[in-house]
Amino acid sequence: MGYEALALHLIGSAEERKAEILGEARKEAGRRIAGAMAQAEAMERASRETFEREAARERNLRLDRARREANAVELRAQAALAQEILARLRERLSQVPSGEGYPRVTERLYREILPEIPAGNVVLFADADALKALEPLLSDPRIRRAPLPEEEIGGVEASDEAGTVRIRNTLKARLENARPALMAEIHRRLVDADE
């Protein structure tokens, strides 16, 4: 019987130790599970934040690309409108030579270049109506008359006999000289109209 009590005591102690070890193992497993869960949640949070950053970055890239494309379309539209305005100006300027006030315009254009006309023989280029209007001013024998090149729009051009010095005071030349200022004004008005 002494052995039986000893055996029961040993079995009881073993059962207690087993319960103790299982309790500690359960606690350790719980800690490990809690740590793993916390680590998984942290990884999930980091993944979500990374995904959100990447999604925001991609969204911003797409928005920037769309803005650039929209700006390019707007600039092309403004440029086309500016070109249309300049084409209409050119068209209206081409009507000036057939207008009633053209002789006065021609005389003014001629008087503007008089101080710049080189010494010696000079060729004065003008259309037939301009030459007729300028006839009283062209009594100088060193001035030879010639037709204005077809691509020009009214006005006068003067050059020395060799063609090395050329003074353009045609309506087309004046439009070309005014083009940068006109483009700036057109752009300013288009921008003001958009606001």
pLDDT tens across 7-61, in order?
778 788 888 888 888 888 888 888 998 998 989 899 999 899 999 999 999 999 9
Q: What is the dihedral of CA 143, 148, 152, 158, to 10 degrees?
A: -10
Its pTM stands at 0.60
Average pLDDT over residues 170-178: 91
Helices 2-95 and 171-194 cross at an angle (nearest 10°) of 140
CATH number of domain containing 109: 3.30.2320.30
| pLDDT (0 to 100) of residue 1 | 55
Q: Could you say which of 98, 123, 150 is where a domain stops?
A: 98
107-123: pLDDT as tens digits: 999 999 989 888 888 99
Strands 166-170 and 155-160: antiparallel
Is 179 within 8 Å of 85 (Cβ atoms)?
A: no
Q: Which residue has the higher pLDDT, 113 or 2?
A: 113
From CA 96, how far away is CA 59, in angstroms rounded? 55
Position 194 in a domain: no
Is a pLDDT exceeding 70 seen at residue 194?
Answer: no
Amino acid at 144: R
pLDDT reading at 2 higher than 80: no
Instruction: Assess whether pLDDT exceeds 80 at residue 81.
Output: yes
Per-residue confidence band for 124, with pLDDT thresholds at 50, 70 and 90: very high
Q: Which residue has the higher pLDDT, 193 or 83?
A: 83
* Residues 57, 80 within the same domain: yes
pLDDT at 57: 93
| Domain shared by 36 and 116, yes or no | no
CB half-sphere exposure, 69, CA atoms < 13 A: 6
Task: Report the number of distinct structural domains present in the chain.
Answer: 2
Q: Can you tell me the mean pLDDT for 66-90?
A: 87
Asked whether the predicted pLDDT for residue 193 surpasses 90, the reply is no
- Quick check: 88 pLDDT over 70? yes
Mean pLDDT of the region 68-95: 87
Residues 142, 87 share a domain? no
Q: Which of 98, 120, 145 is the last residue of a domain?
A: 98
